[in-house]
Amino acid sequence: MVRSHTLRTQKGLVNDPMPPDMIWRIDDFLIDPSRPLYEQFVEQIRAMIAKGKLAPGTRLPSVRETASSLRVNPTTIMKTYQELERLSLLVTYRGQGTFVTNEQSAITRSRRELARSAVARLEELAQSIGLTLAQFIALAKEED
């Protein structure tokens, strides 16, 4: 879903925010309780944006709504949104809310970074059995 949103500043609209396009559900995330929670939310939302599961322009629920629906500390959610904003994947318009970016370049960059980190993990695994990445892939494709 692609939506354009202009910044509306008239009084009334600012205090009367639009409903979000979706609500986070607990099953949207797979959380390991022994790793920093905000890192995991950042990773998983980032992956949703990269995969297009969260379309550009989607209006996200507020920190308050998210903390409530996920039953997570609001500071964690605030840090998550801030980090995703720093990565240019989310944009916040005052009085309007937080949206998935419409900037294709930011999304592409994020997809590339996801691919790079996956390849780096694979490369590490290949090295652990004494192969290069190319040999590793060839080995996986070999027939029995």
Partner 1 sequence: MMVDRTITIQCTGVEMTFKKKQALRNVTFSTNSGSIVGLLGPNGAGKSTLMRILTGILEPTGGLVEVLGRKPDVETLAQLSFLPDRGQLPNWLTADQWLGYASGIYPDWDITLEREWVRKLEVDRSMSIGTMSRGQEARLQLLTCLSRRTKLVILDEPFTGVDLLSRERISSAIAEETAGGDRTFLIATHDIREMESMFDRIILIGDGTIKGVYDTEALRDEGHSVESCYREVFA
Stretch that binds partner 1, among 7-15, 46-54, 73-81, 136-144 (CB under 8 A): 73-81
Residue 110 interacting with partner 1 (CB under 8 A): no
End-to-end Cα, the chain, rounded Å: 44
Residue nearer to partner 1 on the CB measure, 23 or 55: 23
- Please list every residue from 78 through 97 that binds partner 1, using CB under 8 A: 78
Which backbone phi and psi does 91 adopt, to 5 degrees? -130, 140
**Does residue 64 belong to the site contacting partner 1 (CB under 8 A)?**
yes
Cβ atoms 5, 99 nearer than 8 A: yes
Q: How many CB atoms lie within 10 A of CB 119?
A: 11
Looking at 1, 14, 31, 139, which residue binds partner 1 (CB under 8 A)? 31
**Site membership for partner 1, residue 38 (CB under 8 A):** yes
